[in-house]
């Protein structure tokens, strides 16, 4: 079975990279496809308790996927990641820095 930490780091890289390259003005078709992707991803994620908790988190009204723009989607993914950070006792990431970390690159 995959190593949960390595799987997590690789998966977050994929997920945040998807938000970083997401259109600023996605078509309604792409928005629907993105939601379908997220629900399917949350079912297929190859760590069953992670997948189950992620599905539960997404089911709460306040956490339903926000995919209407790159900014919204990037922040939503940051909040999703923070929910896992909190659960694991890791520090919470400042979502104002999402763009700098995953899209434009850290400024030195």
Within the chain, what is the greatest distance between any pair of CA atoms? Answer: 39
Select from 18-26, 30-38, 59-67, 77-85 the region that touches ligand FAD (CB under 6 A). 77-85
Q: How far is CA 100 from the centre of its chain?
A: 16
By rule CB under 6 A, what string of x and - marks binding of each residue 19-58 to ligand FAD?
--------------------------x---xx--xx----
4, 32, 56, 86: residue in contact with ligand FAD (rule CB under 6 A): 4
Q: Rule CB under 6 A: say whether 86 interacts with ligand FAD.
A: no
**Residue 87: burial class (beta carbons within 10 Å; 0-12, 13-18, 19+):** exposed
């Amino acid at each position: 079975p995959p190593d949960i930490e390595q799987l997590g780091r690789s998966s977050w890289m994929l997920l945040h990279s998807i938000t970083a390259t997401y259109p600023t003005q996605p078509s309604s078709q792409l928005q629907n496809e993105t939601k379908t992707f997220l629900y399917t991803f949350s079912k297929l994620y190859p760590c069953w308790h992670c997948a189950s908790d992620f599905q539960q988190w997404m089911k709460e009204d306040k956490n339903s996927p926000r995919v209407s723009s790159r900014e919204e989607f990037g922040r939503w993914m940051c909040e999703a990641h923070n929910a896992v950070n909190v659960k694991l006792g890791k520090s919470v990431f400042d979502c104002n820095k999402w763009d700098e970390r995953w899209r434009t690159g850290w400024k030195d």
